[in-house]
């Protein structure tokens, strides 16, 4: 960032004023053809590139959006990001990405940095759904879209999945296979996905008059290790479950690993359904039945909503919008009830 030619240099070289150069740079028209050519020539010769910082300064926009996610290594999020970026690049926005590692504190810092930088909008899967820590964003009047997890403290556009329905369908599927003793590995109950998926589980169980033993309810943290540990724990139940519902992808991986390690035979001694599809699903024996959702679409939708906000589309003013994308069950073979 040194000695870069400025609009001044171009103006001088082309024998015009900076105003005229600015006009052709921004394609505002109203410049005679020959002048324009001269300017373009100068730009090329000088290798001039416009300075977005200075431009942001006067325009009061950075054409940049911030994205905050809790864990970039969970394959769910790269898909979301890919969706966001796809749309963003089309709208000529850059994407600044940060991972909070599920820490509210880190998230606050990221937010601070975002508002300092004058980001135009934020898409966030928050580490803390209370959301008071998003205050600075609202102070600065920066539009926010929540993805996958809601935000309680503020009214923001939100893109969620049908968590409850998805979980309900999954458990119902288990029940249809004559399962009655179904355990759940829950996610954090202070997150929308964690709680709603649990509710879906309960709903299905209740609807079919099935009892829910306390020992079948395990609390995980959406990470692989907890899936592993909790599955081991489930194997020690006084009343052994014949099926397990796992609340997310990473915990499913852990769970399956545990099953293998304990020789608790999948699809024979115990059935399994997980929320979110995973690579390993078709490699286990039998393949895993899972709840799947169009992740890339979630990201695209999120950007779309944010974009409208950033443009201050009058149509969407003052109304919180909530989109719930419907997931669907991919039935493979891990739920068949066989001999027990």
Site for its own copies, rule CB under 8 A: 1-4, 47, 49-54, 56-57, 60-62, 64, 72-73, 75, 77-79, 81-82, 85, 89, 94-99, 106, 109, 112-113, 115-118, 120, 136, 139-142, 253, 256-257, 260, 278-280, 282-285
Half-sphere exposure (CA, 13 Å, Cβ side) for 169? Answer: 18
> Measuring CA to CA, which residue among 172, 242, 221 is closest to residue 200?
172
Residue 16 or 68 having the CB closest to DNA:
16
Residue 8 or 285 having the CB closest to DNA:
8
Contacted by 257, from its own copies, DNA, none: CB < 5 to 8 Å by type: its own copies
Contact status, residue 220 vs residue 186, Cβ threshold 8 Å? yes
Contacted by 333, from DNA, its own copies, none: CB < 5 to 8 Å by type: none
Contacts with DNA, residue ranges (CB under 7 A) = 4, 6-8, 15-20, 22-23, 25-26, 28, 30-32, 35-36, 50-51, 54-55, 57-60
Alpha-carbon distance of 164 to 167, in angstroms, equals 5
Contacted by 22, from its own copies, DNA, none: CB < 5 to 8 Å by type: DNA
- Cβ 320 to its own copies, closest distance in Å? 20
Q: Which string of DSSP letters, residue by residue, matches 80-108?
A: HHHHHHHHHHHTT-EEEEEE-TT-HHHHH
- Cβ 7 to DNA, closest distance in Å? 3
Residue 114 or 201 having the CB closest to its own copies:
114
- Cβ 230 to its own copies, closest distance in Å? 19
How is residue 107 written in tokens? 């998230």
- Residue 106 dihedral angles phi and psi, to the nearest 5°: -60, -40
Alpha-carbon distance of 169 to 175, in angstroms, equals 10
**CB atoms inside a 10 Å sphere around CB 33:** 7
Residue 31 or 150 having the CB closest to DNA:
31
Residue 106 or 212 having the CB closest to its own copies:
106
> Which strand (E) or helix (H) includes residue 250?
helix 249-262
Q: Which string of DSSP letters, residue by residue, matches 127-159?
A: S-TT-GGGHHHHHTT--EEEESS--SSS--EEE
Contacted by 20, from DNA, its own copies, none: CB < 5 to 8 Å by type: DNA
Residue 22 or 94 having the CB closest to its own copies:
94
- Cβ 141 to DNA, closest distance in Å? 13
Residue 26 or 282 having the CB closest to DNA:
26
Contacted by 248, from its own copies, DNA, none: CB < 5 to 8 Å by type: none
How is residue 13 written in tokens? 């070289």
How is residue 1 written in tokens? 């960032």
Contacted by 297, from DNA, its own copies, none: CB < 5 to 8 Å by type: none
- Cβ 255 to its own copies, closest distance in Å? 12
- Cβ 133 to DNA, closest distance in Å? 22
Alpha-carbon distance of 215 to 28, in angstroms, equals 68
Contacted by 31, from DNA, its own copies, none: CB < 5 to 8 Å by type: DNA
- Strands 289-292 and 328-330, by their bridges, are antiparallel
- Cβ 198 to its own copies, closest distance in Å? 25
Q: Hunting for tokens 């991919």 — which residue is that?
A: 330
Q: Hunting for tokens 């410049």 — which residue is that?
A: 31
What three-state secondary structure class fits 79?
helix
Contacted by 115, from its own copies, DNA, none: CB < 5 to 8 Å by type: its own copies
């Amino acid at each position: 960032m040194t000695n870069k030619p400025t609009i001044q240099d171009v103006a001088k070289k082309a024998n015009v004023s900076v105003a005229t150069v600015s006009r052709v740079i921004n394609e505002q028209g109203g410049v005679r053809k020959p002048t324009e050519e001269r300017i373009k020539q100068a730009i090329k010769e000088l290798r001039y590139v416009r300075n977005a910082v200075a431009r942001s300064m006067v325009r009061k926009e950075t054409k940049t959006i911030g994205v905050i996610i809790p864990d970039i290594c969970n394959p769910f999020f790269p898909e979301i990001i890919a969706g966001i970026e796809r749309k963003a690049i089309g709208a000529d926005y850059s994407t600044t990405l940060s991972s909070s590692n599920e820490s509210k504190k880190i998230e606050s810092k990221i937010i601070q940095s975002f508002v300092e930088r004058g980001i135009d909008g934020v898409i966030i899967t928050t580490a803390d759904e209370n959301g008071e820590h998003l205050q600075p964003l609202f102070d600065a009047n920066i539009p926010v879209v929540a993805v996958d997890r809601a935000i309680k403290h503020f009214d923001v556009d939100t893109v969620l999945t049908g968590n409850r329905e998805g979980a309900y369908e999954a458990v119902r599927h288990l029940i249809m296979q004559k399962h009655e003793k179904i355990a759940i590995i829950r996610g954090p109950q202070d997150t929308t996905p964690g709680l709603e998926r649990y509710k879906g589980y309960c709903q299905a169980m209740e609807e079919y008059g099935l009892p829910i033993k306390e020992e079948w309810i395990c609390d995980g943290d959406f990470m692989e290790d907890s899936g592993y540990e909790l599955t081991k724990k489930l194997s020690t139940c006084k009343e052994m479950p014949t099926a397990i519902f796992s609340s997310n992808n990473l915990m499913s991986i852990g769970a399956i690993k545990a099953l293998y390690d304990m020789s608790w035979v999948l699809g024979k001694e115990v059935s399994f359904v997980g929320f979110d599809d995973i690579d390993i699903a078709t490699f286990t024996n039998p393949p895993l039945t899972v709840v799947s959702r169009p992740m890339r679409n979630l990201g695209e939708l999120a950007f779309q909503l944010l974009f409208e906000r950033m443009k201050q589309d009058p149509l969407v003013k003052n109304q919180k919008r909530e989109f719930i994308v419907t997931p669907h069950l991919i039935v493979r073979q891990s739920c068949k009830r066989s001999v027990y």
